[in-house]
Amino acid sequence: MDSNQNKNAPKIVVLGSCSVDFTTYAPRLPTPGETLHGTKFTTSYGGKGANQCVAAAKLGGNTFMICRVGEDQWGEKYKDNLIENGVDVSHVYLTPNVNTGIAQISVAENGENQIVIVPGANGHLSVDDVEHSKDLIKSADVLIGQLETPFETTLEAFKINEGIKLLNAAPARNDIQDILPHCSILCVNELEASMLTNLDVSVENAVDALNKLLSAGCKLVIITLGEKGAVYASKEEPPTHVFCESVPAVDTTGAGDAFVGALATFLVTKKDHPIHQIVGAACEVATISVTKEGTQTSYPTNYTPFSKPYNYTKLQ
């Protein structure tokens, strides 16, 4: 795939993590202290930031990655992988004497997973890197950030950007209040929403969680609910539940990243559609991803959004 084929298209810039995924498959997940015999081992490319960037690129997004990889064999291979997927890598920085980030993933037959990450070079993504990429960050139509790289770096980038600032507040943590007023969109899953609101978030109490997060300064909040779809609300839009199709899950790893990448792409390429349909299309992309093994390799390329209306309901 050629990188950034349409230079005049809206820019989707991802500031975040790149990691190499070492994945084992087993009948179930091990309990603490237990050793299981697995059925397969794979090595692939992951990291929440790069996953989201590749998901957007595969859907036709004009994507740019700002990240750090190690000056090792995996760093160079990762850059090649991004190029092959249509991502601009002119702001991918090599970090000497540090390993490229890695993730150790275990996947059960029912699709559940456990993940341990070692940040490596991701931990070196700095405010200086933001300064070096300042023009790109400022002009991005959508800037995506997560929490697998230093928080102060993402915060500085969000202060600079003049477009849509989309924060995927993952992995879960509750000390990010400083960035929330800078968020055009906050996207979290149930666990992450629970951590931020001190609520046990579910569909039943989603309105309370949405309102609490909106009061923290976010303009639009989306809580993803796995096979139950997603709920969202903004200052202008009432709380809404968007449904998605239930499918047998093969591997749920990276499904949330597929959602974020799709959401960013459709926000700039399908902006004439209402937000509940954009969220529904992003849910569909995530659903497609769980039917295949792997992360970036599971993201659809030949996908036509809005081929059917997505069901939704207003919440009380």
Q: What percent of the residues of the chain are helix, what percent strand, and what percent coil, each to the nearest 5?
A: 35, 25, 40
What is the DSSP-derived secondary structure letter of residue 262? H
Give the integer Cα–Cα distance in Å for 197 and 210: 9
Please name the residue ranges forming H helices in 67-125.
73-84
Torsion sign over Cα 210, 213, 214, 215: positive
Give the integer Cα–Cα distance in Å for 298 and 291: 8
Which H helix or E strand runs over 177? none
- Tokens representing residue 267 in the block: 């926000």
Enzyme catalytic residues: 257
- Tokens representing residue 73 in the block: 């064999």
209-226 exposure pattern, b = at least 16 Cβ within 10 A, e = fewer: bbebbbebebbbbbbbbb
